[in-house]
Amino acid sequence: MTFEAPQLSQQVVENVIERNFLVVTPETLLLDAIALMNQKRFCDYGGVNDNESLDNNDPNFLNLDASTSNISNSSCVLVMQNDDELLGIFTERDIVRLSAAATDFEEVKIASVMTTPVVTLAQEDFSDIFAILFLFRRYRIRHLPILDDKGAVIGIVTPESIRKILRPDYFLKLRRVADIMTTNVIHANMTTSVLSIAQLMAEHRVSCVVITEEDDEYDLSHVGTIPVGIITERDIVQFQILQLDLAAIQAKTVMSTPLFLLAPEDSLWTAHQEMERRHVRRLVVSWDWGKGLGIVTQTSLLRIFDPIEMYSAIQILQRTVEQLQAEKEQLLQKQSIGTSG
């Protein structure tokens, strides 16, 4: 049996592309670029405005909740020359990397710290979601510029832009958090310096560090590390904007707390709804009195679009339907026997 990837309608393809992206020149100072990324802006996904809506009748993908806010910070800037030549990209991950190395951000130009060359995708090759997700995984990136037939950048696709536009409901409700969560969670105690937190992010190439404390309220068999807060890449960006001394600040002073904790048995639909409601990109999973820790991110949520994952989900659904059908037939047989007796 072959699995064919569902094709996206042209309207959905257009709306996954974020067209209101940030551009700076190679001579832009690093601090100015970071300040630009930290500004609130309207995220224009394919030109949707108050008078336009997505095609909710698309058989594969549906518009997300209409209340989703499009006001957010930017997680990257594109470095361009002559308004159309793409030279490089600079992301939140790069800010964490530079912070971890204790880089002096003063007088640094973006050209000296940007990532180059940039992984891109031609618009004509963007016909299904799997092409994007393949590039995300292969190159371990979260920002993919889309080029027109002349090689000019027309927009960027990110896990956030995909998640805000696409939602196959039945896959999200069928799968559990335990199916996709990352259990290799990097955590630190509350007295760890923010500089050390940034170094952990850079060393392990993660987007967050969970802040924990030891729990001694239960008997010895239940002692574990309780997640009490989180520090993310976005936080490091804001700390740099404020020009804080990362080595002098402890995690407990600036961590986001309290945490909303998922359980492994929660559905991905629950995870998605909580991300939307709380305007966050990741959620912590905890079980067994803190002995188990996990992370679910926007990127990991998109794993359900993997062809193998989707085929597995379809098989589970088919087995469930077959089981229910068999139970129904058995019940009808018992009723028939009872009636004839």
pTM to 2 decimals? 0.73
H-assigned helices in 188-261: 194-204, 233-241, 251-254
Task: Please choose, from the candidates 245, 260, 249, 282, the residue with its C-alpha nearest in 3D space to the C-alpha of residue 92.
Answer: 282
| CA dist., res. 75 & res. 91, Å (int) | 6
Dihedral of alpha carbons 302, 305, 311, 315, sign = positive
Listed range (200-204, 264-268, 337-341) with the worst mean pLDDT: 337-341
Where is pLDDT greater, at 303 or 208?
A: 208
2 falls in which pLDDT band (50, 70, 90)?
A: very low
What digits encode the pLDDT tens for the residues 74-116?
Answer: 899 999 998 789 999 999 999 999 999 999 999 999 999 999 9
What digits encode the pLDDT tens for the residues 4-32?
Answer: 444 455 666 678 899 999 999 999 999 99
What digits encode the pLDDT tens for the residues 144-199?
Answer: 999 999 999 999 999 888 877 665 666 677 789 998 999 999 999 999 999 999 99
| CA dist., res. 200 & res. 179, Å (int) | 25
Mean pLDDT of the chain: 81
Say what the pLDDT of residue 324 is: 78
Task: Please choose, from the candidates 250, 231, 227, 207, the residue with its C-alpha nearest in 3D space to the C-alpha of residue 93.
Answer: 207
Question: CB neighbours of 91 closer than 8 A, spacing ≥ 6?
Answer: 75, 76, 115, 142, 143
The phi and psi torsions of 258 (rounded to 5 degrees) equal: -75, 165
Q: Which is it for strands 208-215 and 187-189: parallel, antiparallel or unpaired? A: parallel
Task: Please choose, from the candidates 5, 2, 1, the residue with its C-alpha nearest in 3D space to the C-alpha of residue 306.
Answer: 5
125 falls in which pLDDT band (50, 70, 90)?
A: confident
Task: Please choose, from the candidates 297, 286, 280, the residue with its C-alpha nearest in 3D space to the C-alpha of residue 263.
Answer: 286
Q: What is the mean pLDDT of residues 272-292?
A: 90
CB 282 within 8 A of CB 295: yes
Say what the pLDDT of residue 309 is: 59
Say what the pLDDT of residue 266 is: 95
The phi and psi torsions of 71 (rounded to 5 degrees) equal: -95, 120
What digits encode the pLDDT tens for the residues 26-81?
Answer: 999 999 999 999 886 555 555 433 333 333 344 333 333 333 345 567 899 999 99
| CA dist., res. 235 & res. 18, Å (int) | 23
pLDDT surpassing 70 at residue 336: yes
